[in-house]
């Protein structure tokens, strides 16, 4: 059982506060202030407890007394047997982990630590990946299937996960799923301050942060909406260069007979040839700035927007053509979207008007950049003043292409409507990356060493599987489809269990919405009081 100490006066120096997802304010004590290798002020902080919302005092944890040696710990006189703890989230997540097959695979691949891995994944779903909060989470949350943990234990756990163990897990996970579906491939990056992570390098940072980064390539199932596999690689390697390795790794893990759905950033002749050689098929967007894309639109645009090519499901028009592109025969699907046309046209003239205003303020022609000459003919008058005139023919050509986009496919049996549906599933699945980086707090790594970072990322992947599985269930049911996952988690967190003096357990009465959520997730009410053993 965990210990709870009586409140103490809040220290008046070196204290900062960080707010958890449930609104709790955690107090941090600065043990060292210094400048990093870039000369920027930074500090090392440790969590020493949480702020009492009523009195403003500190409810200390064990570390508080390690730092303030003159303070004497006083335990609450209230016996542990009358304890109230949140039980809804952990019980529901354990039920989901069992149904998704995750518990079975973790028990097989990590027999000595599967329960601790699962507890850390649950914590990340509830609180994010700042592990300093985990002791407080154990205080407030009933977790029956493992013992209490602190952030130091979490770091040791992360560092203990080997490459071989991760690969073995991925093989089992791919085999267990066994689904034949379109595979969406996407890439993101995670920033870090650490100089000890060897694959953290400078590259294109999608979050606009001026920090070294780690690139993260991930596969998702387009039908199941479930994460399948991920790999980490150096932040300086371009995404399109790493695609070949990711596909080779996928085949080694048993990901075969699939159609890959990719973004336009992976469109290269070498990548297409590689995919063809390996026997894969693909669907991808074609970069519209390429001359071959402009030619397809210019030559076939008038034919696209006809009644026979209208796609009712998406309210777009689509035309399928055979095309020789990137050294191979492909199927080009040209689309016209009225809503996109309006947006494209507005963007075009907003850009032109902005450049026009900038040109009006210029005096020296030699400062005129290429971006202006795309839309304007720029010259110098006899008096040396700058003059300019819009290139109407070029702008009209751009105007005719607004509203169009092109998808490429190597599968001959897909119609334009199906290709568009498949590709737009990818757009929906990109929200998973948003969840990983923002909801699970993996926008920036908070570890200092490669082994710890790799293990923590793996546990984050487990958390993403469970969050995605939960979202798949709640979005399919009309009773919960309008609820966000955060709202679901908040309601589950409010489900509390009381341990009585005879060690029996009972639930605080549930609301109608909480009962609905539990029903949709298929969580038996009895499991909330009987305890969590991880085995169905």
Q: What is the pLDDT of residues 356-373, one digit of tens each?
A: 998 888 876 666 778 888
User: How many alpha carbons lie under 13 Å from residue 449 in its C-beta half-sphere?
Assistant: 7
The distance from CA 172 to its chain's CA centroid, rounded to whole angstroms, is 23
- Please tell me the predicted confidence (pLDDT) of residue 330: 92
Query: Residue 243 to residues 219, 239, 246: CA-CA distances in angstroms?
Result: 11, 7, 5
Domain with CATH 3.30.420 in the chain: 163-284+411-445
> Lowest-confidence range among 247-256, 264-273, 366-375, 427-436?
427-436
Whole-angstrom distance, CA of residue 209 vs CA of residue 303: 44
Span 57-81, mean pLDDT?
69
Identify the CA nearest to 231 among candidates 201, 244, 223.
244
Q: Which residues partner with 86 through β-bridges?
A: 141, 496
DSSP result, 48-103: EEEE-TTT--EEE-HHHHHH-TTPPP-B-SS-GGG-EEE-HHHHHHHHHHHHTTHH
Local confidence band at 81 (pLDDT 50, 70, 90 cut-offs): very low
pLDDT band for 446, please (50, 70, 90 cuts): low
CA 167 to each of CA 229, 321, 382: distance values in angstroms, whole numbers, following the listed order = 10, 41, 71
pLDDT at residue 234, rounded to an integer: 60
Q: Which residue has the higher pLDDT, 59 or 190?
A: 59
Q: Average pLDDT, stretch 153-180? A: 90
**SS3 for 488-508, per residue?**
HHHHHHCCEEEECCCCCEEEC
Mean pLDDT of 471-479: 93
Segment 221-247, tens digit of pLDDT: 877 888 888 887 664 556 566 677 777
Average pLDDT over the chain reads 83
Q: What percent of the chain has pLDDT over 70?
A: 82
pLDDT digits (tens, 9 = 90+) for 316-365: 999 999 999 988 899 999 999 999 999 999 999 999 999 999 888 887 66
The mean-pLDDT minimum among 95-104, 313-322, 344-353, 442-451 falls in 442-451
70 pLDDT band, cuts 50/70/90, is low
Assess contact for 352 and 390: CB atoms under 8 A.
yes
What pLDDT digit, counting tens, does each position of 138-162 carry? 989 999 899 889 999 999 999 999 9
Place 444 in a pLDDT band, splitting at 50, 70 and 90: low
Report pLDDT for 230. Answer: 83
pLDDT at 478 over 80: yes
pLDDT bucket at 80, cuts 50 / 70 / 90: very low
The Cα–Cα gap between 31 and 337 comes to 58
Domain 163-284+411-445, CATH: 3.30.420
pTM across the whole model: 0.70
HSE of 85, CA atoms in CB hemisphere, 13 A: 26
Q: Looking at residue 8, what DSSP letter applies?
A: B
Flag whether pLDDT at 501 surpasses 70: no
> Is residue 462's pLDDT more than 50?
yes
105 — pLDDT class (breaks 50, 70, 90): very high
Mean pLDDT of 111-123: 95
């Amino acid at each position: 059982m965990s210990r709870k100490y009586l409140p103490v006066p809040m220290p008046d120096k070196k204290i900062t506060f960080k707010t958890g997802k449930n609104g709790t304010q955690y107090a941090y004590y600065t043990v060292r202030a210094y400048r990093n290798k870039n000369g920027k002020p930074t500090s090392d902080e440790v969590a020493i407890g949480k702020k009492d919302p009523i009195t403003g005092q500190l409810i200390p944890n064990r570390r508080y007394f390690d730092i303030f040696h003159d303070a004497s710990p006083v335990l609450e006189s209230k016996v542990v047997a009358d304890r109230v703890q949140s039980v809804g989230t952990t019980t529901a997540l354990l039920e989901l982990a069992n149904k998704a097959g995750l518990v079975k695979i973790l028990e097989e691949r990590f027999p000595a630590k599967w329960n601790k891995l699962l507890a850390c994944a649950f914590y990340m779903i509830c609180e994010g990946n700042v592990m300093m909060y985990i002791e407080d989470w154990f205080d407030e949350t009933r977790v029956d299937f493992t013992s209490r943990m602190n952030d130091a234990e979490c770091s040791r756990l992360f560092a203990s996960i080997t490459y071989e163990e991760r690969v073995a897990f991925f093989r089992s996970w791919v085999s267990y799923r066994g689904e034949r579906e379109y595979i969406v491939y996407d890439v993101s990056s995670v920033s870090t301050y650490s100089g000890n992570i060897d694959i953290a390098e400078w590259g294109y940072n999608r979050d606009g942060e001026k920090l070294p980064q780690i690139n993260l390539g991930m596969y998702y199932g387009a039908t199941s909406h479930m994460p399948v596999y991920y790999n980490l690689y150096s932040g300086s390697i371009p995404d399109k260069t790493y695609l070949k390795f990711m596909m080779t790794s996928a085949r080694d893990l048993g990901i075969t007979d699939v159609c890959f759905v990719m973004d336009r950033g992976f469109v290269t002749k070498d990548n297409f040839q590689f995919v063809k050689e390996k026997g894969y098929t693909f669907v991808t967007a074609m970069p519209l700035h390429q001359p071959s894309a402009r030619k397809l639109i210019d030559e076939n645009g008038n034919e696209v927007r006809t009644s026979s090519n209208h796609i009712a499901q998406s309210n777009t028009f689509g035309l399928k053509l055979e095309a020789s592109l990137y050294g191979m025969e492909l199927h080009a699907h040209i689309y016209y979207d009225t809503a996109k046309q309006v947006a494209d046209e507005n963007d075009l003239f907003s850009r032109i008007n902005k450049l026009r205003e900038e040109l009006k303020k210029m005096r020296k022609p030699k400062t005129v950049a290429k971006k202006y000459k795309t839309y304007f003919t720029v010259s110098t008058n006899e008096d040396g003043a700058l003059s300019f005139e819009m290139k109407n023919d070029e702008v009209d050509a751009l105007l005719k292409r607004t509203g169009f986009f092109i998808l490429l496919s190597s599968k001959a049996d897909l119609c334009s409507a199906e290709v568009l549906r498949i590709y737009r599933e990818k757009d929906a699945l990109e929200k998973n990356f948003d969840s990983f980086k923002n909801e699970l707090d993996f926008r920036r790594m908070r570890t200092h060493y490669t082994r710890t970072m790799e293990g923590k990322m793996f546990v984050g992947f487990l958390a993403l599987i469970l969050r995605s599985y939960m979202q798949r269930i709640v979005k399919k049911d009309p009773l919960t489809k309008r609820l966000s996952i955060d709202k679901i988690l908040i309601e589950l967190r409010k489900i509390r269990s009381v341990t009585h003096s005879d060690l029996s357990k009972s639930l605080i009465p549930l609301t109608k919405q909480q009962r609905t959520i539990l029903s949709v997730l298929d969580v038996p009410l009895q499991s909330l009081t009987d305890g969590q053993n991880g085995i169905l």
